[in-house]
Structure 1
Amino acid sequence: MHEEHSDDRAIDHSGQEETKEEGDREQSCSLVSGDGTPSGLISLRRCLHQALTSQSSVLSASTLSKISPSGQLRRIGAGSCGTVFKIPETHKCIKIAPVHQDPVNERLLAVRAHKEFSYVRELMEDLFKIMLPRVPMPHELASPAEALWESFPQTRFPESYKLPRRPSALVSTRIFPLSKTVREALVRLFFPPDIHAKTLADETSKNCLIRLYLGANAPENATRHRDSLENFPLYHDMATEILLLVDEYAKSMAVALAVLHWAARCSGEDSEWVLGRAPVEDEAALPVNCKRPGACLWLRDFDKAKSLDFDDHDDEFCLLRMLAGVTNNDPYLPNPKSSSRELWELFRQTYKDASERVMANYKHTLPSRFFGQGVDMPEAFLQKWGKWAGDDEELEIVFE
């Protein structure tokens, strides 16, 4: 998602090297004027916008594709889905699943999503003039008994982390963190001045990915109690403030949701929509008019997502599962309950149009009742989502 910058948005920038470890090189904005004055805040907003949307050679190429047999693993994320570690000298990461959780289903859905997103990428990007989000490529699956664990003994992990007794894990493409320029601008725009230095110095801030919450505005003092940029929440009003192309990202999300539903047959429940950088080995997946953007939208984590088995379950069951996928989650997607009418209408219509095109391409794999005079499943899903928005009480949908 890119735009030509007019003269009044021009920003002075010069090349600077990020970290030797990543080999990053980026276009960097001058942050000296971000001093809290109106003109300083405008400069910071423009700087952040430039860093997120401009073309930049952000990552060095690597000829290493196999898992490195040595080297210390570094923690780059953690949550209910597990703990994630960077595998040195590769473009991969390993996610250690929580105790008693088997990532087989996650890998199955991730493989399916990655495959179908790759298959329809060129068509959907050409039709809708958007960049379809990336899905990290799932690689090896490590169950407790597999030899893959020989490459990951306890000694490779930080001393503070103890491997579960019978660990399971998933190795996949790593989403690279956002640049130092982005991190500095985020801190100076959205964090209290008294914790700027502490936040930037925090090691976890180097893992900065943006969770893009287009379905809600920021609560009061959203960053007041944060001291790290890891999994930074960027709400709709914050995204608008930094001139992010919100409508374009909303369209991208809508198209991706259609692909997820009708091509990958996945509910996407508890999956995350994040902004991060892509390794250059993934450059072949970029459209021809976009070379290595400063930030890409990613769709990741399918550990709690459900398969949409249209052939084995009735329509109502599948619609409820789809509804759970967009409501039992953080406010990533524009929605009929909390978004403006204009943004919701853009998202809704784009989802409908994209669903029509995806379903036409997958007609041979979808039930015949979805076509002709049959049930209009995309419209039925949107109506159910609208009914959810009108309910006074929160609707919790739970599947065994």
Structure 2
Amino acid sequence: MLSWCGNILSTPPAARANHIEVGRGQCGTVLALNDTDSVVKIPNSPAKEDELFTDYQIHYSVYSTLAPLSSVNISVPRPEAWITRGSTIWFSTASCFPKGIPSIPNYGLISKRILSVPLCFREDIVDLLCPKAIKTIKTKFLARHENNDCLVRLYLGRRSCTSHREAGNIRLRNFPLHVNEMKRLGLRPERYAVTMAQTLAFLHWKVGIDANDVEFVLGGGHLCQRFEYHADDEAGCKEVMKKLVEGFWFNDPYYPRPTATDEGDKKLWGVFVEHYLKTSAEHVSHQGPKEFIEAVVEKGKQRSESSLFSS
């Protein structure tokens, strides 16, 4: 996962002892290890073992590339180990797992945990963004397990109002924070647009992944497919560019959108493009980054036209 090192997280909450599930995806389930600041991700089924191992390899590659950089205000949790089947290390930590899991796989990956945003920030989410029905039960709402482990997803590409949502559907775990709500919490969208652009450029042209399903959170992404870009291979370049564009549009709306109609959102897109191209130029000299931006814009137009015809 990717997370921000911001002022609001300068004093992270202490890792607390628990035996709980803190996340679940298509590939694996994330469990907090008792009395540690680490998590273990185990496959949801034996068929997911290879996919999870690939996840670990990419995670390690991303960490190795981004961790030493001081120019990008981003933090990648350190991958600690891939535990193979039958490892004795695994059995020494087995007591840390939640009770009631019928069969714990004896393989998986261990990494540092992204801890929750501070309580004061969670309180601000309730006070400034949530509907009245939640504000009236603020203490009880914040005490719920699913609201203690709060990571905030930064959606620069979507406008919405949490206050208009059904109270029963709101959880603070993986909380979607939309671009129009950020300033109410004292956050500057421009800052995140710069960091997302720089990070995406690093992932594309330094690490060599399409960044599909990467997550940007206050408190991180699950990374996927590796690729190699050869500027002299026209057919290969087209296939790679398709993957990059899909990685941009098929992900959650973290990045600013080229199709934005709000003036502030248009400026965010301009900031994103400027810093993506600037950072990319530090790593490659070919036209791939420029072609990526052009392809994203074109795909955005197609999506907008398709939406108009279907409405």
- TM-score (structure 1 length as normaliser): 0.66
Match status 1:341 vs 2:260:
no
Give the equivalent residue in structure 2 for 1:76: 22
From 218, 243, 258, the equivalent of 2:160 is: 218
Q: Distance in 2 between matches of 1:160 and 1:183?
A: 30
Q: Please give the alpha-carbon distance, in whole angstroms, between the structure 1 residues aligned to 2:9 and 2:86.
A: 44
Q: Which residue of 2 aligns with 1:183?
A: 122
Distance in structure 2 (CA, Å) of the matches to 1:159 and 1:257: 39
Alignment partner of 1:356 is 2:273: no
Distance in 2 between the 1:133 and 1:222 partners? 30
Distance apart, 1:161 and its partner CA: 3.4
Letter in 2 for 1:181: C
Counting matched residue pairs gives 287
Structure number with greater Rg is: 1
Q: Deviations over 1:223-266 (max 9, x none)?
A: 63434311111010111222311101110100000111111101
| Mapping of residues 90-129 of structure 1, within 5 Å | 90-99=36-45, 100-102=47-49, 103-119=52-68, 121-122=69-70, 125=71
Question: Which runs of 5 or more residues in structure 2 are unaligned?
Answer: 1-5
Q: Does structure 2 conserve the Cα–Cα contact (< 8 Å) formed by 1:210 and 1:234?
A: yes
After TM superposition, give the deviation of residue 81 of structure 1 in Å.
4.1
Deviations, residues 184-228 of structure 1 (Å, cap 9, x unaligned)? 121122222333344212112110110111111116724634343
Q: Provide the alpha-carbon RMSD of the alignment.
A: 2.6
Name the residue aligned to 1:380. 291
Segments of 5+ residues of structure 1 without an aligned counterpart are 1-51, 62-70, 126-130, 277-297, 360-370, 395-400
Aligned amino acid, residue 300 of structure 2: A
Task: Tell me if the contact between 2:153 and 2:176 (Cα under 8 Å) persists in the aligned partners.
Answer: yes
Q: Distance in 1 between matches of 2:108 and 2:270?
A: 40
- The CA distance in 1 between the partners of 2:109 and 2:26, in whole Å, is 15
Is 1:97–1:167's contact at 8 Å kept on the other side of the alignment?
no
Name the counterpart of 1:204. 146
Residue equivalent to 2:3? none
Aligned counterpart for 2:198 among listed residues 255, 266, 270 = 255
Contact 1:190 1:223 in 2 (8 A): no
| Structure 1 pair 150–225 and aligned structure 2 pair: CA distance change class (3 A) | same
Aligned pairs (5 A) from 1:294-309: 298=220, 300-302=221-223, 305-309=224-228
Show CA shifts across 1:315-366 (max 9, x none).
111111111211111101112134722111110111001100133xxxxxxx
Contact 1:81 1:301 survives alignment (8 Å): no
Question: In the alignment, which residue of structure 1 is the partner of 2:241?
Answer: 319
1:157: how far off?
2.4
**Cα separation, 2, equivalents of 1:336 and 1:267:** 19
Q: CA deviation at 1:134?
A: 1.3
Aligned mates of 2:123, 2:251 — CA distance in 1: 28
SS of 2:116's partner is coil
The residue type equivalent to 1:378 in the other structure is P
| Alignment of structure 1 residues 264-303 onto 2, 5 Å | 264-276=207-219, 298=220, 300-302=221-223
Aligned counterpart, 2:12: 58
Task: Tell me: CA distance 1:335–1:306, structure 2 relative to 1, closer, same or farther (3 Å).
Answer: same
In the alignment, which residue of structure 2 is the partner of 1:330? 252
Structure-2 change in CA distance of 1:383 and 1:105 (3 Å): same
1:237 matched to 2:207? The reply is no
Measure the CA separation in 1 of the matches of 2:243 and 2:252. 16
What SS does the corresponding residue of 2:207 show, helix, strand or coil?
Answer: coil
Secondary structure in structure 1 of the residue aligned to 2:169: coil
